[in-house]
Structure 1
Amino acid sequence: MALLPRAGRACLLLAVAVCLAYAFGRRADAAVKELRVGYYADTCPAAEEIVREAMARALAREPRSVASVMRLQFHDCFVNGCDGSVLMDATPTMPGEKEALSNINSLRSFEVVDQLKDAVEERCPGVVSCADIIVMAARDAVSLTGGPRWDVRLGREDSLTASQEDSDNIMPSPRANATALIRLFAGYNLSVIDLVALSGSHSIGEARCFSIMFRLYNQSGSGRPDPHMDPAYRAALHALCPLAVDQNVTAGMDATPVVFDNQYFKDLVHLRGFLNSDQTLFSDNPFTRVMVKRFSEDQDAFFRAFAEGMVKMGELQNPSKGEIRANCRVANGSPPPPLRNQVAPFRVLDF
């Protein structure tokens, strides 16, 4: 790839993305509902302001929480579209997505979404969907921590059910490599640029030792650490995550985990990526390496690409008939969920 002129590299990247999109199904084509900026201008004109103010309060209480809320958009939209299904509690007849392999003991801050929903319901009962609240809150998580702000297209409905099986089959592992991630994103008509930019969501938040033990001690079954790791950074991770450690211990995924900036990409270039799925974008694939290098040098370019990627991801929809849930945890007409303070806390994995 290094021998190709810039235009040739761009064409090759485009060709790879297009081919993979056809090979793995164009799920983004399922967008059927009307989404538009200002969707609630008549029915709940203060909706976006209410969500932003509640997110600001959450940030003041616990900076990590807003990163966790942002992560919910990824885990919601990639599983049958942006329909709020990731928020639903399990029932005796419906395993929840919260208990999927990529989510259990990982996704967190569901109580923040409850607070956002309660605040909106107080002003505009029965109008604003939980799915739209996730999309608004993800945008606010970024802008409130120093990142870009973009217009969100709204008008989604909430799903009637969740699918733990689909979540298990779709969401990638922290061990995923760049090639697998390119393939996953292409299946949603998301390009290599979208993949790298959206991975920059790891600019804020923390991850668990559990997610990197194999990188530190047995990469690819070798009995050795990942060779694509700065020695000083590896030593610091060894100290944080020894073999006998509580694997729920967490650390920031870049050097500035409460500020949304391009430090994440600078760290990847210097072999200081926390997750394997992060570092592989620079170390293992020439297509993604080009974009990592660019974003490490140009924060404005990263911000533009990230905002565009979030909008595109938000277009993924569930074509099935939905509703506006009164409680984000259960379908309308279902028994109420357990008291919220009885719900086991969730720890962050990727964000």
Structure 2
Amino acid sequence: MECTNNKHPFVFLFWLVFLTPLVCSQLYYNFYDSTCPNLTRIVRYNVLSAMNNDTRIAASLLRLHFHDCFVNGCDGSVLLDTTSTFTGEKNALPNKNSVRGFEVIDTIKSALEKACPATVSCADILTLAAREAVFLSKGPFWVVPLGRRDGTTASESEANNLPSPFDPLENITAKFVAKGLELKDVAVLLGAHTFGFAQCFTFKARLFNFGGTGKSDPTLDGSLLQNLQNLCPNQASSDTNLAPLDPVTTNTFDNMYYRNLLNNSGLLLSDQALMGDNTTASLVNMYSKWPLLFFRDFAVSMEKMGRISVLTGQQGQVRTNCRFVN
């Protein structure tokens, strides 16, 4: 779509710089200012309440948003339960017994339906909840453009193709590029692994049988290796045990993730793989030294991700219950 044209260069530049992103994307920073003025306050209160009850929930909400946007766009499809007409995404392999935070979104939606009925989409709620989860964990704050509409179907098959901790970096990058992102966004958004936990099965091969050698990953820090082997013994019963993605500042959103990578202490092989590419290794080194630079770039990449294949205008719907189509 051609956004605008103007004979006056200065006026055109003003529109291009300040207004074009709003017009072209049909997402607006002030979308709910008049229809639901307490939106941010309600989301923040409920995310903070959830964090007070569960220290893991902040990272879980951020991951939930990621898993939503990478499957047919940021349309709240990950929140839908399976029905007689379609299979939901919750039981896809990357999500089953893994993604969480649905009850928090339900609570926020219930509060918003009382404050401003049939107004705020579940997709926007999830996007805002992810931002609040980061900000309330001492991470960056960014202004979220709003106006997403909710999808009316889900795709288990697409969810099964989400970027995986077992993927090599080139495959992960290809999946990001397919969504309109780039290699820098890979390095930046993987920085979300600066808080939260991973199940042992996602990295256990690094501990006991790396590459089928019957030995541990030689690049993994020795002290971390010993701790992880104690936490995740080489038996199936330990597969669902949890290990912190960042054992240093586990529940804080900071740049420790990158400092860990420099020390060969990345938990997932897909994380440590950032050090094997010249471009991403340079970014790791830079973000390890300059946390505010990481915060700035993370906010930019999050906004980019939050615009993936959004439904706007009359597309989709505004669900009254995030688990079901109206």
- TM-score (norm: length of structure 1): 0.83
Does structure 1 residue 183 correspond to structure 2 residue 174?
yes
Q: Quote the residue 1:142 is aligned against.
A: 134
Runs of 4+ residues deviating >3 angstroms: none
For 2:311 and 2:130, the matched residues in 1 are separated by 22
1:119-163 superposed Cα distances (whole Å, 9 cap, x missing partner): 111101100000000110000000001000000000000000111
SS in 2 for 1:98: coil
Shift of 1:319: 4.9
Q: Quote the residue 2:240 is aligned against.
A: 248
Q: Quote the residue 2:252 is aligned against.
A: 259
Match of 1:72 among 61, 64, 67: 64
Q: Quote the residue 1:196 is aligned against.
A: 187
1:152-196 superposed Cα distances (whole Å, 9 cap, x missing partner): 000000000111011112x02211222222222122221222111
For 1:144 and 1:318, the matched residues in 2 are separated by 26
Instruction: State whether residues 172 and 181 of structure 1, in contact with CA within 8 Å, keep that contact through their aligned partners in structure 2.
Output: yes
Instruction: State whether residues 127 and 324 of structure 1, in contact with CA within 8 Å, keep that contact through their aligned partners in structure 2.
Output: yes
Match of 1:297 among 289, 300, 306: 289
For 2:122 and 2:240, the matched residues in 1 are separated by 29
Instruction: State whether residues 55 and 140 of structure 1, in contact with CA within 8 Å, keep that contact through their aligned partners in structure 2.
Output: yes
Q: Which has the higher contact order (CA 8 A, sep 6+)?
A: 1
Match of 1:238 among 203, 208, 229: 229
SS in 2 for 1:99: coil
Match of 2:209 among 212, 218, 223: 218
Q: Quote the residue 1:288 is aligned against.
A: 280
Q: Quote the residue 1:344 is aligned against.
A: none
1:59-78 superposed Cα distances (whole Å, 9 cap, x missing partner): 11111112101111110111
For 2:200 and 2:99, the matched residues in 1 are separated by 15
Does structure 1 residue 326 correspond to structure 2 residue 320?
yes
Larger mean Cα displacement after TM superposition, 319-328 or 111-120: 319-328
* RMSD of aligned Cα (Å): 1.5
Q: Quote the residue 1:47 is aligned against.
A: 39
Shift of 1:33: 5.6
List aligned pairs for 1:307-322, cutoff 5 A.
307-319=299-311, 321-322=315-316
Does structure 1 residue 156 correspond to structure 2 residue 157?
no
For 1:218 and 1:277, the matched residues in 2 are separated by 16
SS in 2 for 1:97: coil
Larger mean Cα displacement after TM superposition, 311-320 or 64-73: 311-320
Counterpart residue type for residue 193 of structure 2: H
